[in-house]
Amino acid sequence: MFITLEGPEGSGKTSHIPPLVEYLRGQGHVVFPTREPGGTSISEQVRDILHDLKNVEMHPRTETLLYQAARAQIVEQVIKPRLADGEIVISDRYYDSTIAYQGYGHQQDLEQVRTLVKYATGGLSPDLTILLDLDVETGLKRKKQNQAEWNRMDDHEVKFYERVRAGYLEMVKQEPNRWVVVNSDQKWESVQEELREAIINKLEK
């Protein structure tokens, strides 16, 4: 099973994955966590370029293509082989991030972006995508307070992130059977419990 966690800045995706993995392994599952962009040597190098605050001149099309390059590598090198072996793969972001950020956020042509995504992934879609939803102002404040990595993708105006969040919510409407929305503006333990419940429900089906 392929599970992805999505969400705007400060939604807590990264902090929730390790305990999720530990919980599922405790239930007897073989679980492999990864992240985007990254997860392979090549993809991590692309991540460095994408996140470098010095790269202020990067055009949205360049950004979009770099994300697809990193994604194509991890899909073929890591995700598909592990899924074929019957493992659960949990990814911190996947192609929905591109549609949300580069599509809705940068206001690029959504059909063109989706075409690039389909090519990069070879058509591989998640079985379950969980959106950790959070209002923009709270998310950005939380990220700064937690002294998390502040990279080029965090350095946009608030309206950009509002478009990103609206894009996520629109995608949920378009594919309600794939998505589960979890309110991340609550206690960490409550969010973790909802994440576990969503995954177990999907596994049981």
DSSP 89-155: EEEE--HHHIIIIIIIITT--HHHHHHHHHHHHTT---SEEEEEE--HHHHHHHHHHTT----GGG-
Residue linked to tokens 């990254």: 38
The whole-number pLDDT of residue 139 equals 83
Share of the chain above pLDDT 90, in %: 83
Q: Record the tokens describing residue 7, joined without a space.
A: 């969400």
**Taking 70 as the threshold, does the pLDDT of residue 48 lie above it?**
yes
* Angle at which helices 13-26 and 188-204 cross, to 10°: 50
For residue 92, list its beta bridge partners: 5, 35
Is 31 strand, coil or helix?
A: strand
What is the pLDDT averaged over residues 170-179?
98
- The pLDDT confidence band at residue 1, using thresholds 50, 70 and 90, is very high
Q: Which of 50-64, 96-110, 132-146 has the lowest mean pLDDT?
A: 132-146
Q: Is the pLDDT of residue 39 over 60?
A: yes
User: In the predicted model, is pLDDT for residue 148 greater than 60?
Assistant: no
Taking 90 as the threshold, does the pLDDT of residue 153 lie above it?
no
CA distances (Å), 203 to each of 16, 104, 176, 180, 196, in order?
A: 18, 31, 17, 14, 11
Amino acid letter, 58: M
Show the domain range for 63: 2-204
Given pLDDT bands bounded at 50, 70 and 90, which one contains residue 10?
Answer: confident
Question: What CATH code is carried by the domain that includes residue 104?
Answer: 3.40.50.300
- What would the mean pLDDT of 40-59 be, rounded to a whole number? 94
pLDDT of residue 137: 86
What integer is the mean pLDDT of 3-14? 92
Rounded to two decimals, the pTM is 0.93
pLDDT, average across residues 143-171:
81
Structural contact between residues 32 and 120, judged by C-beta atoms closer than 8 angstroms: no
Percent of the chain with pLDDT over 70: 94
The mean per-residue pLDDT over the stretch 148-162 comes to 75
> Number of folded domains in the chain?
1
d(CA 164, CA 71): 19
